[in-house]
Chains A and B, each alone.
Chain A
Amino acid sequence: MNVLELDDVRLDLPSKRGDRALLRGVSLSLAPGEALGLVGESGSGKSMTLRTVLRTEPPGARVTGRVLLDGADVRGLDAAALRRVRANDVTMISQNPRAALNPVLRVSQFLVEGLCDARGESRDAATRRARDLLARVGIADVDRCMGSYPHQLSGGMLQRVVIAAAVASSPRLLLADEPTTALDVTTQSEVMAILDGQRREHGMAMLFVTHDLELASAVCDRIAVLYAGEIVEIATPAQLHAAPRHPYTRLLLDSRPSITARASELPVIPGRPIAAYEVEGGCAFAARCPWAAPRCERDEPALVHHAGRATRCLRSDELADELAGETPGETSGETSGETTGEPVRDRETEATT
């Protein structure tokens, strides 16, 4: 059974100008231990998708569709059961570790409260395990870290603390929302290696949100590409790089930045990304799609599953060869997957030995 299954999840948020759709029917699934990357431009609804799983969406939001955790719908849980799921089964790592920790509490209090207050473990046992976890995420001076306040630690250290807290309960599912975006480049790969190592060690499934297709390719088993609140393509990194089936994926691959200078946002694709609530029928990507045909403005493409992958494009079959073809100056998917994959894996061995 899948750890997580989103089935046609829609999210509407009331605003002054009527309801706004932020998610327009997201469907995806994660097998136990699998890592699924969720990639898309800023504002495409990546964070909102994660929030429907832990039910932390903005107040007033209306969510429809099913969010199945080990087959049980989390949307229907009562408060006590939801709290148990949050404490035991699903944890989340957010983009900015500095905002995630209470500035006036020590790291030890942050770690212990997740085990003690949330899970009912004894304070002593919780403290012992917190120290152990800090050592495992590569923190050298555990005593000092435990006694520190957040403002005394660097962003990289804090994100390690947050990772330690996230794996503490050995959850079935880890939701990581751009966990390295707020960090500098060298710290990014270190933190990524630790996260990946911990995930494998604890056998957790991971839903990994990023705007960085290369990073997702390096750490994930499959990648889902999100555009304007819906998934336009799901495939393995190798499939995506070798033969993208959706025009948006193709443009993402073409415009990826060089590995040395990883941009903070997805590089330029001509045209403005549209928000989910701006879609007016037809294909959401039609306004920016170089391959758009007249019917693309009229007919809404469905997510079509075929040969282990899924695509939402009316013309994906006829465009298959064109989308898979090389463009000048383009490196092939496999090599680029390796170049980002290599340093990550290297450090992982360092961190776990």
Chain B
Amino acid sequence: MLRFVIRRLGALAATLLISSFLIFAAMYAAPGTPESFLVQGRTVSPEVLASIRAQYGLDDPFLLRYWNWLSGVLTGDLGESLTTRQDVASLLLSRIPTTLWLTLYAAVIIVVFGVLAGAIAGLRGGAFDTAVLLGSSVGFAIPTFFAAVLLMSMFSVTLGWFPVFGAGAGFADRMAHLTLPAVALALPAAAVVARITRTAVVEERGAEHVSVALARGVPWRVVARRHIVRNAMLPVTTIVGVNIAALVAGAAVVEHAFTLDGIGAMLINSVQQKDFAVVQAIALVLVAVFGVVNLVIDVLYAVIDPRVQFGGESA
């Protein structure tokens, strides 16, 4: 188990290294130069331009610049924002709580509503099942930005139940502010998870060990919990994990729509302003989060399914 985790952490480090290179190279190859943004269209003398280039090390060879950046990242120095001159690391830290709360909130919605609705639909069938099937089709088809606008106009503007903008302060206020964004963010993933949970439950319900348990006189609710839902959770865990990991990226659209000050909105702004230092840092954070969430899911999966052997050899 420990060896499995260490191996996976090693693989994650390698992934991050490769991604960091790709991210850096992509910035390098992107159209427009940082200095043209820095001078903001003013005409400046070649001397000034040269001094700017020197200050940001823009004339160094590519690999040297990459190395300088990477060693900075490894020591926690993510550089300076080109637009605000602020330290990128502290800028990120100030933005992370909003995104963290938003994605956690959305993750809870996915698990509670997606898994619960799917499981009940699969176990009960009937009208509830049809409703879940229909609802999941709709939820999956609505684009996130459209869902955000729709939710805002319905619940904030028309009904006035929730605040329209901002992230709020303090736990309760924050939850109130983040409810609509989290719903908008969770909607497509919850739809997918509900659908897959339902399918898994229906399939598991037809398994022979389920009819054997019932034929032994084990009560239905015990069979439903211990044999059907529990086994159905195996495939569902993976799907939930992938969807939660992907939330971090989807958060950009939602934060932008609800003007939340998370790192997603920051990413969009930075891209628009060609603030390379910030974009690179955020991209790296996204890759890291994705990798860590997937690692956690894999470990979790191996814990709940005894047939999975850590290290690959199976009995």
Contacts and interface: CB of A to CB of B under 8 A. Distances in A.
A83 interface: yes
Contact of A83 (B208, B211, B219, B307): B219
A104 B216 contact: no
B77 interface: no
Nearest to A80: B219
B213 interface: yes
Contacts of A100: 208-209, 212
A86 B219 contact: no
B230 interface: yes
A96 B209 CA distance: 10
Contacts, number: 72
A114 interface: yes
Interface string A83-101: 1111110011010100111
Contacts of A85: 217
B171 to A, nearest CB: 37
B209 A113 contact: no
Contact of A114 (B216, B226, B304): B216
Given A102-B213, A149-B306, A151-B307, A114 B218 contact: yes
B226 A105 contact: yes
Contacts of A103: 209, 231, 307
A151 B308 CA distance: 11
A99 B209 contact: yes
Contacts of A75: none
Interface residues of A, number: 29
A152 interface: yes
A113 B212 CA distance: 12
Interface in A133-152: 149, 151-152
B315 A151 contact: yes
B305 interface: yes
A185 B219 CA distance: 36
B216 A94 contact: no
A19 interface: no
B315 A152 contact: yes
A87 B216 contact: yes
B315 A102 contact: no
A86 B213 CA distance: 10
A84 B208 contact: no
B93 interface: no
Nearest to B206: A59
A114 B212 CA distance: 10
Interface in B207-227: 207-209, 211-219, 222, 226-227
Interface string A55-92: 01000000000000000000000000001111110011
A165 interface: yes
Interface in A253-306: none
Contacts of B5: none
A118 B208 contact: no
A101 B234 CA distance: 17
B263 to A, nearest CB: 38
A110 to B, nearest CB: 9
Interface in B118-169: none
A119 interface: yes
B109 to A, nearest CB: 27
A119 B222 CA distance: 13
A114 B213 CA distance: 8
Nearest to B230: A104
Given A99-B208, A104-B304, A149-B306, A113 B315 contact: no
B222 to A, nearest CB: 5
Contacts of B231: 102-104
A129 to B, nearest CB: 15
Interface of B: 207-209, 211-219, 222, 226-227, 230-231, 234, 304-307, 315
Given A102-B226, A102-B227, 10 more contacts: A56-B211, A103-B307, A104-B230, A104-B231, A104-B305, A106-B306, A113-B216, A118-B217, A119-B217, A151-B306
Interface of A: 54, 56, 83-88, 91-92, 94, 96, 99-106, 113-114, 117-119, 149, 151-152, 165
| 3 residue pairs, one from A and one from B, having the closest CB atoms | A87-B217, A86-B217, A118-B217
